Structure 1
Amino acid sequence: MERRSNAAESRGQQDGRTPFERFVEATYDRVSRAPFFFVCVAIVVVWFVSVPFWADLKSWQYAIHTVSSVLSLLLLVLLENAGKRSEEAAQEKLNVLAEALSDLMESQAQHDPSLTASVRKLRDAVGLEARH
């Protein structure tokens, strides 16, 4: 059993987050809550009632379109990054479970040789041998 490193150990080595990753996490935490929605509604309301202050109606429309397009693009990139990291964390948890299951099956294969093929198939399917 000592021949492979533990999948949880490999995950623990990645705990040092970059400033960008901390920023993404903080942003995701804030934009996924109700107050952010109300801030967006407030921006639209302020934009809507500001129509008398604009000389040209097209400029008034361009203002909200430009602001919303830029914010949408930035939020999309940040949320996609957060989603990717969440997916990677879930995959790592599945890998840890698969590794534990394969270790259990391997220990039971001493009593039931038919499990040996299943252990090999599980390790090949999950790619545990390639990771360790």
Structure 2
Amino acid sequence: MANVPAQQHDAAARPGTGDGPPPRMPSDITPGLGPFDRFATHASNFFSKAWFFSLCVLLVLIWAPSYFLIGDLDTWQLIINTATTIVTFLMVALLQNTQTRADKAVQHKLNAIADGLADLMGHIAEADGRPQLHADVDELKAAVGLETREGA
């Protein structure tokens, strides 16, 4: 498990910033996606197929002999350079969106597992009288950046 200090949590999700505490469990995450996120997900699924890669290879194979139709080397190169630059720029933005959302979802799940494990260790420490487990709970929470919950 990667060490994620509490300082690295999203500042907008910190208590006291007006947006409330960060979600503690995966079920606390809003399942709905905005229009751009839905579009990025569909685009990522579309671009990651083998047939899309084959289509890209086919376009390059069609472009290569087009030099004889165009005749000018600079124009011929400019066509493929412009097309690939634009497509790459847009794809990187879309794929980065989906990757960031996936990373956040995994981190929330890991935090929920660590929180559940910390709770279990705390209960075992109290039930079996193992004070060392309390130190281990604190170490686990510090390692994954979980804040200590206030008991009622």
Report the TM-score, using the length of structure 2 for normalisation. Answer: 0.75
Q: Percent identity?
A: 37
Task: State the match for 2:60 in structure 1.
Answer: 44
Q: Does 1:8 align with 2:14?
A: no
SS in 1 for 2:147: helix
Task: State the match for 2:119 in structure 1.
Answer: 103
Give the Cα–Cα distance (whole angstroms) in 2 for the partners of residues 103 and 9 of structure 1: 18
Query: Which structure has greater helix proportion?
Result: 1
SS in 2 for 1:9: helix
Give the Cα–Cα distance (whole angstroms) in 2 for the partners of residues 71 and 100 of structure 1: 44
Task: State the match for 1:31 in structure 2.
Answer: 47
**Could you say if the C-alpha distance between residues 61 and 6 of structure 1 is closer, same or farther in structure 2, counting changes exceeding 3 Å?**
closer
Report the TM-score, using the length of structure 1 for normalisation. Answer: 0.85
Contact 2:24 2:108 in 1 (8 A): no
Amino acid aligned to 2:125: A
Aligned partner of 1:73 among 51, 69, 89: 89
* Structure 1 residue 8: Cα displacement: 2.6
**Could you say if the C-alpha distance between residues 131 and 86 of structure 1 is closer, same or farther in structure 2, counting changes exceeding 3 Å?**
farther
Give the Cα–Cα distance (whole angstroms) in 2 for the partners of residues 52 and 60 of structure 1: 9
SS in 2 for 1:109: helix
Amino acid aligned to 2:53: F
Give the Cα–Cα distance (whole angstroms) in 1 for the partners of residues 41 and 77 of structure 2: 32
Instruction: Considering Cα pairs closer than 8 Å and 6+ residues apart, tell me whether 1 or 2 has the greater RCO.
Output: 2
RMSD: 2.0
